[in-house]
């Protein structure tokens, strides 16, 4: 009988410690993720060069494996020749808000994540001097992402991953209407701090 009571006490203690450890995980975080981008189709009939950009997003975990994220991002793509002139760039900026699902690989400090969110962004067209001569105004789009969370200790992680953004906006160039379907894939190398 004493052995059964002892085993029950040990199991209850282990369970209590594991629940307490899960509650002590940080629920908030901030991630900065720069990277390279590649357009998956032409933008208004223009072939875009590979681009670059970054996102800064806040995380909030409200369940053991599910959380919300939101933030702001910027991506720039150049084009030597376009309907808007030579040596122009197209910059997409905007906000993102979505859900993230994250699971660890066993008991390791390595996890995988999937994200799905909405975008509220716009596309600016700039000349070679950096002057904006067209702005589409903000509109809705979407984002899908996935990657790894590699724990480094002290609530820091590396977050390499891939993402796909899709944003459709209308633009007017000297009375000619253009539909911008700005779809691109990115490879990101982020760093995350939980607090």
**CATH code for position 157:** 2.40.160.20
Task: Check residues 4 and 186 and name the one with the higher pLDDT.
Answer: 186
pLDDT at 102: 96
Q: How confident is the model at residue 151 (pLDDT cuts 50, 70, 90)?
A: very high
Domain count, the chain: 1
pLDDT at 17: 43
Least confident of 3-17, 60-74, 78-92, 97-111: 3-17
Quick check: is 179 in a domain? yes
Alpha-carbon distance of 152 to 192, in angstroms, equals 10
Quick check: is 9 in a domain? no
Q: Provide the domain limits for residue 33.
A: 27-194
Quick check: is 164 in a domain? yes
Most confident of the ranges 12-21, 39-48, 82-91:
39-48
pLDDT at 18: 42
Quick check: is 32 in a domain? yes
pLDDT at 21: 41
pLDDT > 60? residue 55: yes
Quick check: is 36 in a domain? yes
| 193: Cα separation from own chain's centroid | 15
Quick check: is 176 in a domain? yes
Quick check: is 21 in a domain? no
Q: Which residues pair with 184 in a beta bridge?
A: 39, 165
Residue 158, token pair as written in the block: 């590396």
Quick check: is 1 in a domain? no
Alpha-carbon distance of 143 to 122, in angstroms, equals 14
**194 neighbors 177 (Cβ within 8 angstroms):** no
Q: How confident is the model at residue 174 (pLDDT cuts 50, 70, 90)?
A: confident
């Amino acid at each position: 009988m004493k052995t059964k009571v002892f085993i029950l006490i040990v199991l209850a203690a282990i369970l209590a410690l594991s629940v307490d450890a899960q509650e002590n995980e940080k629920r908030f975080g901030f991630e900065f993720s720069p990277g390279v981008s590649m357009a998956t189709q032409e933008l208004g009939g223009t072939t875009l060069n590979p681009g670059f950009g970054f996102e800064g997003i806040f995380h909030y975990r409200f369940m053991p494996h599910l959380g919300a994220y939101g933030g702001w991002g910027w991506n720039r793509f150049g084009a030597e020749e376009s309907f808007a002139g030579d040596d122009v760039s197209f910059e997409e900026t905007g906000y993102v808000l979505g859900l993230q699902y994250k699971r660890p690989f066993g008991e390791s400090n390595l996890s995988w994540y999937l994200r799905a969110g909405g975008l509220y962004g716009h596309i600016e067209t700039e000349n070679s001097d950096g002057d904006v001569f067209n702005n589409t105004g903000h509109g809705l789009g979407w984002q899908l992402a996935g990657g790894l969370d590699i724990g480094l200790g002290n609530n820091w992680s590396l977050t390499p991953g891939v993402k796909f953004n899709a944003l459709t906006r209308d633009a007017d160039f000297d009375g000619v209407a253009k539909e911008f379907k700005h779809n691109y894939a990115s490879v990101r190398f982020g760093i995350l701090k939980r607090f």
